[in-house]
Structure 1
Amino acid sequence: MGLDSRHTPPSRWGTLFLLTFPPLSWAGNAIVGRLAAGHVPPITLNFIRWVIAGAILACFAGRSLLAHRGALQRHAVMLWVLGALSIASYNALQYLALKTSTPINVTLIGASTPLFLLVLGATVFKEPVKPWHVAGALLCLIGVGFVLLRGEPARLAQLDFVAGDLFMLAATIAWSGYTWLLRKHRPDLPLPAFMLAQILTGLVVSVPFVGWELGVAQESIRWSWRVAAILAYVGTVPSLLAYFSWDRAIARAGAQLPVFFITLTPVFAALLSTLLLSEWPHWYHGVGLVAIGMGILLAQKR
């Protein structure tokens, strides 16, 4: 079906698109995720999201998955780990964080991903850390922080860490670990089959937590056309399309550079808010964008 572009010669513009599309779609995911608050429980939202994505992908990758049974058995442990870190953990923890934490706290913690990537790479994967990687990560953090603090550093003193902040911290660490494992130990499977295997393992890991949320916590879904539209979006764009782009971006650019592009997510969120919510950007958004751009350029220095 042309979904696996592993043997396509990479182009600079194609790689730039693959690096940019995920943060753009995840910015949209943040907006609809906020719209879902109070209508769909967070862990259940994540579970339904991947059920939809898995059902769609199975139409294209089901036969490929069966044809690679041998590879699935050889890489079973890694597939379970990758599915748990990505499908079952990151977005579920992010949705859960927004129940008790503020968006500014959650986004600031998520913006620290480049630093966690550097730490995990150096400590776990023995990856050398260059000075420009550290400088690029700090510039990205400064840019994102400037946007989120609205150009007023004094707002930093008003931040309070609550349970949701710890959930987002766990999500950030999980995503950093997933990115490194994807770069270092990616199973030799065609991309559609690999993605479907991750979804299936992640859903299995998620089942007990969904059962707890709907049963013990007694939360429920308030069905409406708005909820249906939200589920349709999160089950396709930020799930299938963004994850395919993320996998290809890491294959082309390595594990470090793509994570720096995640720091563009708040910038895209501001632009989407202007278009969809009539919230116009301010001068500090421009300053933050410049800092983030400089950080990305510095991080990719060879």
Structure 2
Amino acid sequence: MTQRLTPGTAALLVTAPLLWAGNAVIGRLVHDLISPLALNFIRWVLAFAILLPLARPVLRRGSPLWPHWRRYALLGLLGIGLYNAFQYMALQTSTPINTTLVGSSMPVWMLAVGALCFGAPVTRRQLAGALLSMCGVLIVLSRGEWAQLLALRLVPGDLLMVLATVSWAFYSWLLPATREPASVRGDWAAFLMAQVLFGLGWSGAFAGAEWAAGRAHAEWGWPLAAALAFIAVGPAVLAYRFWGAGVQRAGPAVAGFFSNLTPLFAALLSAAFLGETPRLFHAVAFALIVGGIVVSSSRR
């Protein structure tokens, strides 16, 4: 059943896309300084270090984590390994606004994955909300001129972002499906640490393959260090905390609509850091996306 949003839940689900928009902008800014899979791996090494003082007991031999290690290995693969790797790879050839726009197909993938793989019913309100939100995405994609859609050409990064979005849809549906003890589920740091632990293994393997292929590189300095600090604290630890709590409260289908705020935030941040000025169509798109969220999450 679709749940009614509270202001607190909405705040959680709005803050996560804001931080992820910042992640896309930063990822684009440093794409010449570090290879994408190395960036993803180092990001989660730092996040692991941040979480360790808060969730050390979950790593002990008798921790309730270990009987459920297969589920956490899957969550770590989908939400930390694949999603972030695909996104940073996408930013090598695409822009932050483009990648976040492609990611805004999330409501459609959320509804499809939920219906096909988890037996979740799709309501008319959810379909209407998805339509409104996608109209907002198309307005930004066309820059307010529908003729621009006919000339649209996808780059490899856009296709990689589709794969990232599908991975995230599965991840979000699996989050509330976990059945571990309350000592893990009730402790946000332990719950995230359980995912990061296995996600480090996946992202480390991907980074190792990148290094073996001779494609790994890093130009160390203050710009890269500052970028790594931001994406480790904000988009990694805080955003995952907020998104996980929001999904638990509102459900995956409703939460998926909030991901459509990411391109709007990316447009604003791109204006500040990449010199791209927001225009009227961004405001129109924002209204449609918010309208989709309201329609999809309201009660009959």
Q: Does 1:93 align with 2:86?
A: yes
Q: Give the one of 57, 66, 75 matched to 2:60.
A: 66
**Structure 1 moving runs of 4+ over 6 Å:** none
Alignment-derived partner of residue 221 in structure 1? 218
Q: In the aligned structure 2, how far is the partner of 1:292 from the partner of 1:68?
A: 46
- Aligned residue for 1:99, secondary structure, equals coil
Which consecutive unaligned segments of at least 5 residues does structure 2 have? none
Q: Give the superposition deviation at 1:12.
A: 2.7
- 1:52-111, Cα deviation, whole Å (9 max, x unpaired): 001110011112443862x21221110000000011111110111122345554333211
The Cα shift of 1:11 comes to 9.2
Give the aligned residue type for 2:153. D
1:210 to 207, 212, 216: 207
Counterpart residue number, 1:5 = none
Deviations 1:275-300 (A, max 9, x none): 44454321101110111111011110
Structure 2 distance, partners of 1:83, 1:298, is 32
The answer to whether structure 1 residue 141 and structure 2 residue 138 are counterparts is no
1:44 alignment partner in structure 2:
38
Asked if 1 retains the 8 angstrom alpha-carbon contact of 2:94 and 2:155, the reply is yes
Q: Distance in 1 between matches of 2:158 and 2:148?
A: 17
In the TM superposition, what whole-angstrom CA distance separates every residue of 1:191-244 from its partner, at most 9, and x where no partner exists? Answer: 211111111101111222211212313331011110110011011101000100
Q: Could you tell me which residue of structure 2 aligns to residue 53 of structure 1?
A: 47
User: What percentage of residue pairs aligned between the two structures are identical?
Assistant: 45
Determine the C-alpha separation between the residues in 2 that align with 1:136 and 1:186.
30
Distance in 2, matches of 1:201 and 1:293, equals: 35
| Alignment correspondent of 2:250 | 253
1:169 aligned onto 2:166: no
1:19 maps onto 2:17 in alignment: no
Distance 1:217 1:187, change over 3 A: farther
Q: Is 1:201 matched up with 2:201?
A: no
Contact 1:22 1:242 in 2 (8 A): yes
Which has the higher mean CA deviation after the structures are superposed, 146-155 or 75-84?
Answer: 146-155
TM-score by length of 1: 0.91
C-alpha contact (below 8 Å) 1:187/1:194 kept by paired residues: no
- Mapped contact 2:28–2:96 kept (Cα < 8 A): no
**Which residue in 2 is equivalent to 1:113?**
106
Three-state SS of the structure 1 residue aligned to 2:32 is: coil
- Cα RMSD for the two superposed structures: 1.9
Q: How many residue pairs get matched?
A: 292
Return the letter of the residue paired with 2:190.
A
TM-score (norm 2): 0.91
1:166 is displaced (CA, Å) by 2.8
Alpha-carbon spacing, 1:61–1:126, altered in 2? closer, same or farther (3 Å): same
Contact 2:103–2:162 (CA<8 Å) still a contact in 1?
yes
| 1:230-277 alpha-carbon deviations (Å, 9 max, x no partner) | 011011101000100011101111111111111011111222234444
